[in-house]
Structure 1
């Protein structure tokens, strides 16, 4: 089931404790653009189908990444794309967006997504896995 745009942004705003929906939207756009570069094929298409349309398009037309980023570098890349962000605020942004994405995706799809990502991303999605 696709999450409505307002509901998606409400979740991100709440989890990120943002003062405005614009802040939540900016974080969502950057994080999804970076995430999209790491996912391929059916997994990316399935996730896009569960996101609001404009965010799905960002996921499907991602920022290019030469190599998969470690979770730490993913957070740093997020900080680089958000004006005034630090690694700490970017980690907060990533957690707010990816935990919302995880809820929209559901457990089965998240397991498939994590298989395409370097180790440690489970923490960013807010669902730590024991290894």
Structure 2
């Protein structure tokens, strides 16, 4: 069952230490739009099924990416899309959104998501994998 919008944004707001819900929503929109370009097929659809409808649609209709971005480039891309963001604040944005998404899914789906992403995303999701 998908998280309710208020619950999802509440978690993002708390983890990102945002002052307002609008900041949390902006981070969620940007990060999920970028993430959607990196996930394909059933894995993307299964993750979307755990998100509030509005954010599921963003994940399923992503910003286009020419190639998979490394975690560092993903953070830089997030910073570029959020007005006033730096790489440091964008790292918080990405981690707040991805860790909230990770907590909404089971371990199996999280493993499948991480398999589709370049090495290093496990840290952004807040679930370090053994090497």
Alignment correspondent of 1:63? 63
Consecutive unaligned residues of structure 2, counting only runs of 5 or more, are none
Query: How many residues align structurally?
Result: 131
What do residues 54-88 of structure 1 show as CA deviations (whole Å, max 9, x unaligned)? 00000000000000000000000000000000000
> What TM-score does the superposition give when structure 1 sets the normalisation length?
0.99
Q: TM-score, normalised by structure 2?
A: 0.99
1:112 aligns with 2:112: yes
Q: Secondary structure at the match of 2:84?
A: coil
Paired with 1:47 and 1:102, the residues of 2 have a C-alpha distance of: 9
CA RMSD, 1 decimal: 0.4
Indicate the residue corresponding to 2:85 in structure 1: 85
* 1:100 match: 100
Moved over 3 A (4+): none
* Whole-Å separation in 1 of the counterparts to 2:36 and 2:105: 14
Distance in 2 of aligned mates of 1:107 and 1:13: 23
Task: Give structure 1 stretches of 5+ with no counterpart.
Answer: none
Aligned residue for 2:14? 14
Query: CA separation in 2, counterparts of 1:129 and 1:64?
Result: 27
* 1:50 Cα deviation from its structure 2 partner: 0.5
Distance 1:61 1:51 in 2: 14
